[in-house]
Amino acid sequence: MDQAVERLGYVVMGVPDVAGSADFYRDVGHLTVHDSSAGTAFLGGGYDHHWLRLEQQDQRRGLLRVGFELGSDDALGDVTDRLDARGIAYEEFGDLDGDAIDRGVRFTDPDGLEIDVYTQMLSRGTKPGQNLVRMQEMLHAVWFSTDPVAAHDFYSGVLGFRASDWIKRNAVFMRSGNNYHHSMGIFRGSPERAATMDHFCILVESIDDVMRARNIATSRGATLQKDVLRHAASGSISVYIADPAAGISFEFCTEHDIVDADHRARILEATPISRDVWMQGTSREEIKRLTNAAMGVTSSDEGLARIANSIA
């Protein structure tokens, strides 16, 4: 099946204070506020109008919706045909003056997460200046599902995503047309956590940008959800910064693999070393201690921590 989606476009999050969260992502996330109102803010780091949309939500905090850019205008018709064939309802949307999207459709996945797919977004004439953290693109989003295998089947069947790697069958990393190792990751979670976000990731130019982002974040009072590590699956070097208002984290990464079109997905061990290869050589007892600490301290790491703890 053709890969209808070219890349991740944006995530939409509910926050209790749009202005405060916009300031956080400007000061700690290095994003530029492109448009804002009393209840909505659009932020980005490239030519795209936005990578992140913040919406005022007094009751619902965290992930509201994920948007993917299609590889062609014709792909929109292909997607609606697949949705029709499966009896999945969708609605058309698109308002360049309102949401900065030309044409798209919105539907709901099996876990209840709203998904947007669209043809084009408004593009800025110039890229925002980036003297400290040089961002390249919005790379991926990771959220929870009660059944990652069923979620994999849904996204491969409707949007043409392809699995790049699994962690046992408890997490799957799936790639789109740009062939970065993953544009989405889906982790196993409880029914209460289904359709909630673990993190989103911004690709930066080099390890220097990761480290500058890390040091600026801590100097401005932000908390690291996970410190610098290298993932076994994608090969990326990453740091994760906690967003307490939305209850997620966001990642800056570099050296994220681009895989061959015929890449066959591996099934990786469910251990902390799969999450961070630099833990190789660490004692079994220390791995257990770190895993238990992650379970006790950081909720957004709960899914992988529980899996890892059962193996370590």
Give the helix/strand (H/E) hosting 148.
helix 148-159
- The owner of tokens 């593009």 is 123
The pLDDT of 12-32, averaged and rounded, is: 97
The pLDDT of 12-26, averaged and rounded, is: 97
Half-sphere exposure of 202 (CA within 13 A, CB side): 28
1 band by pLDDT with thresholds 50, 70 and 90: low
Domain spanning 5-118: CATH 3.10.180.10: yes
Residues of the chain with CATH 3.10.180.10: 5-118, 135-267
What is the rounded CA–CA span in Å between residue 241 and residue 307?
22
> In what order do the strands lie in the sheet containing 135-145?
224-230, 237-243, 248-254, 197-204, 135-145, 184-188, 171-175, 162-167, 266-268
The average confidence (pLDDT) of the chain is 91
Report yes or no: 34 and 49 within 8 Å, Cβ to Cβ: yes
**Which pTM was predicted?**
0.90
What is the rounded CA–CA span in Å between residue 116 and residue 90?
10
> Given this model, what pLDDT does residue 301 score?
41
**Superfamily, domain 135-267:** 2,3-Dihydroxybiphenyl 1,2-Dioxygenase, domain 1 (3.10.180.10)
What is the rounded CA–CA span in Å between residue 258 and residue 155?
20
DSSP per-residue codes, 38-61: SSEEEEESSSBS-SEEEEE-SS--
284 band by pLDDT with thresholds 50, 70 and 90: confident
257: pLDDT strictly greater than 60: yes
> Given this model, what pLDDT does residue 192 score?
95
- Inter-axis angle of helices 302-311 and 284-297, nearest 10: 150
Which residues touch 246 (CB under 8 Å, ≥6 apart)?
Answer: 13, 14, 15, 21, 61, 62, 197
